[in-house]
Amino acid sequence: MDQIIHKERFPSPNPGIELSIVTYRSDDLKVKGLLAEPKGNEIYDGFLYLRGGIKNVGKVRPGRIVQFASEGFIVFAPFYRGNQEGEGNEDFAGEDREDAFSAFRLLQSHPRVKGTHIFGFSRGGVMALLTAIQFPEAKSMVTWGGVSDMFLTYAEREDLRRMMKRVIGGTPTKFPERYEYRTPLFQIERLQSPVLIIHGEKDENVSAEHAYRLEKRLKALNKKVESWYFQGFTHYFPPAINRKVVQDLTNWMKKQ
């Protein structure tokens, strides 16, 4: 685990799961993330948790990470560069994709990890797809309410346009290649892992169109894909349903 520079214990809401804030190397930056390890010496699958949002929106929540670890995984959730005292600046699935790639390698080299799954929520969906394309050995990939098309995000989310122009350097009209670089659909033929798509059909943060486009593209390429659409739900599922979906998706992962 040579990427780890520093590891510091963090209070865990579950006595059976150890939490640590990890400082790790990504490019030449020191980036931080949250690591959850079930206690003991047992070998588990790794679970790379790729958060949504940017900066303080969509921060990694310890309770959520522990929830996935409790299903029998060693979970690592990068905060992405520039967050929570990490170096550098996020650029919305541009260079900061390396933070996800390095985090995947970190899990792969963990002495108690046998294989690694990738999970992305919201903006993390793009990160997850890019990571699965980069690492064909990933056991599976799940995108939940996930972005798959950056052009579509720009078109749909007027409230994000200023941020996107600032971070990406301009509009899709002016810099189509920068948006294409951030849109995994353009290189999805390289993806090898089985994919599970979870999306609320009433999602207004990331429309279900992102899921439909991804599913259509994967099916056209004869890739292994399963989709769970939830008719009445938005970007956030009610707690009881959420817990059930977490169990179902982790069971799905274990079968891959």
Residues marked active site are found at 122, 235
* Reduced 3-state DSSP string for 167-216: HHCCCCCCCHHHHHHCCHHHHHHHCCCCEEEEEECCCCCCCHHHHHHHHH
Q: CA nearest 76: which of 40, 142, 22?
A: 22
- Element of type H or E holding 38: strand 29-38
Radius of gyration for the alpha carbons in the chain, expressed in angstroms and rounded = 17
Tokens of 222: 């004869």
Q: Measured between alpha carbons, how far is residue 230 from residues 18, 138, 225 in Å? A: 33, 26, 17
Identity (one letter) of the amino acid at 26? S
Q: CA nearest 192: which of 246, 123, 256?
A: 256
Region of 19 on the Ramachandran plot (φ > 0 left; ψ -120 to 50 alpha; else beta): beta
Please report where in the chains the tokens 């670089």 appear, as a residue. Answer: 181
Residues 6+ positions from 40 with CB-CB distance below 8 Å: none
The strand pair at 195-200 and 225-230 is best described as parallel
Half-sphere exposure of 156 (CA within 13 A, CB side): 15
